[in-house]
Every structure is written in C-alpha cells, then in structure tokens.
C-alpha cells in the first residue's frame, strides 16, 4: 500500500497534535494524539520525542491495529505510548481518536488520585458522570508491559463499571495524567480540552467551597442528553441537505 493513501489520516493526526499544543495542553513533548482507520486496520500516531515545531504530517507513524507494530517502511519510532493507544482502539470499538496530555489541572487530579466530580453543567455537557480515575498499575503490570497494561487497566475500569467510552470520553490515570478520546482525532483533542477545563473548574469550586455539592442527577442528565444520543437537540442538525 502506498504511503500517499494514508495522507488524510496523517494530516488529521498531525493537526490534532498541533492543536494540543495550541490549546496549551502540552509542555515540551509531553503529549500525543492518534487516530485509527478501522477499515484498513491502521493507527496513525505522533513519532516519539519529535519537537512540535519541526513535526511534519509525513512524520506521523503508521501502526497495525492488529499487531501494534509499525507498518513496513516506517522509519521513525512511534510515541512510546503507542501500545496504550492500540489497546484502547482494540477494546473501545466506537472511538476513532485518542489524545494524551499532561495538562496541568487534569494531571493534578490524577496525581491526587481523585476522580473529577461533576460540579456543574460545563462538565455535564460532555461527561455523563465524574471524569473516572483508574487504579495505579501493579508492579507486575509495570514490569511486564507498562504501556499496553495502561490500556488494559483503563479498558478494565470501563468494563467493570459499565461505562460507555463515548459517555465518559476521558479518564485519569492514578499518579500519571489524562487520556481523552472521541469519534475522531479532532474530537479527542476537544475532549482533552474539556477534561483540562473541568479539572480547573472543579479545583476552584472546591477552593471556594470545600463542601460543594455535585450536580443533581436531573441537571446532569438534562445537559448530557441534550447534546448526546437519540434525543439530542443542541446545535445544528447533522443530517441536512444544505451546506452549512
């Protein structure tokens, strides 16, 4: 297969990575974004340790969704977090893009080993509950296959707690940082921005009122479902014959 045929996928992943920086979510090279082409079984992800100001679309590395290995001919090493991305694409069949950052406020909650409670409608517009927190990896999981097992712990948490990845489009890893995802790489970046923003809002909310109450379920449900699912009515209709 020719490299050229993956140009749109590489462009989308390049744009998502640049967007993470522009949104202020990435310091140095502490972040990565990817996307998957499920029809062709290929994941595209940022190369490892390449500075954003010299990153080019053609540098984006193509990986087999099935094996997690770079496609033949790839020269740059993929992000060291690639096995986490591949694991999540394999386990969450509805997602098309993933963004990982060490953004300041979300990472603070992850380091405090706290989920982010839903304190208001800004949060409820995107998450149908708290931003979940995953347990830390065990010593054995770390030594055996750290990045792959990070994905396994996230997927296991969602499965055990019956969470829908598109209703909770992000997670905090204890002692680490957030991962966010969505139907596309651009949507994953948007959700990474949401996670960072609600993390900052929740921190300020608790600073102003340590006894702050979480959002009543009825408000949470209203805000989430007016944007998501079959009864959503926020924004413009997607199925329209006119060009918007």
Binding mask 123-142 for Zn ion (x = CB under 5 A): --------------------
Q: Minimal distance in Å, beta carbon 157 to Zn ion?
A: 17
Q: Which stretch binds Zn ion (CB under 5 A): 66-74, 175-183, 191-199, 215-223?
A: 175-183
Q: How many helices (H) and strands (E) does the chain have?
A: 7, 7
Please say whether the beta carbons of 214 and 117 come within 8 A.
yes
Ordered strands of the 97-101 beta sheet: 61-64, 42-45, 31-37, 97-101, 178-182, 170-173, 133-134
Please say whether the beta carbons of 179 and 99 come within 8 A.
yes
Q: Which is nearer to Zn ion, 129 or 178 (CB)?
A: 178
Q: Which stretch binds Zn ion (CB under 5 A): 82-90, 124-132, 160-168, 177-185?
A: 177-185
- Torsion sign over Cα 116, 121, 123, 125: positive
Q: Which stretch binds Zn ion (CB under 5 A): 91-99, 139-147, 149-157, 172-180?
A: 172-180
Mark whether 125 is an active-site residue: yes
8-state DSSP, 58? G
What is the CA 98 to chain-centroid distance, rounded? 4
The site for Zn ion, by CB under 5 A, has a size of: 1
Q: Which of 37, 52, 125, 146 is catalytic?
A: 125
Q: Which is nearer to Zn ion, 135 or 222 (CB)?
A: 135
| Residues 2, 103: Cα–Cα separation, whole Å | 36
Q: Which is nearer to Zn ion, 88 or 177 (CB)?
A: 177
Q: Which is nearer to Zn ion, 32 or 168 (CB)?
A: 32
Distances (CA, A) of 93 to 97, 110, 155, 166, 236: 11, 25, 11, 10, 26
Q: Minimal distance in Å, beta carbon 93 to Zn ion?
A: 24
Q: Minimal distance in Å, beta carbon 173 to Zn ion?
A: 8
Q: Minimal distance in Å, beta carbon 49 to Zn ion?
A: 13
Which residues are known catalytic residues?
125, 234
Binding site for Zn ion (CB under 5 A): 177
């Amino acid at each position: 297969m020719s490299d050229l045929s993956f140009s749109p996928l590489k462009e989308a992943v390049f744009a998502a990575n640049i967007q993470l920086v522009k949104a202020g979510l990435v310091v140095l090279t502490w972040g990565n974004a990817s996307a998957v082409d499920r029809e062709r079984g290929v994941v595209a992800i940022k190369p490892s340790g390449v500075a954003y100001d010299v990153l080019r679309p053609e540098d984006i590395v193509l990986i087999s969704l099935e094996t997690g290995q770079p496609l033949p001919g790839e020269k740059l090493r993929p992000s060291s977090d690639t096995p986490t991305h591949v694991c999540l694409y394999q386990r969450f069949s509805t997602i098309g893009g993933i963004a990982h950052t060490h953004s300041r406020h979300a990472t603070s909650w992850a380091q405090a080993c706290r989920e982010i409670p839903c304190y208001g409608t800004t949060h409820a517009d995107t998450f149908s509950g708290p931003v979940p927190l995953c347990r830390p990896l065990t010593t054995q999981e770390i030594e055996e296959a750290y990045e792959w097992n990070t994905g396994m712990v996230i997927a296991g948490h969602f499965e055990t707690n019956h969470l829908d990845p598109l209703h909770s489009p992000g997670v905090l890893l204890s002692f680490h940082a957030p991962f966010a995802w969505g139907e596309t790489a651009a949507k994953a970046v948007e959700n990474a921005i949401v996670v960072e923003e609600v993390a900052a809002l929740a921190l300020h909310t608790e600073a102003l009122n340590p006894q702050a109450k979480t959002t009543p379920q009825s408000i949470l449900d209203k805000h989430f479902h007016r944007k998501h699912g079959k009864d959503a009515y926020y924004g413009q209709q997607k199925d329209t014959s006119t060009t918007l």
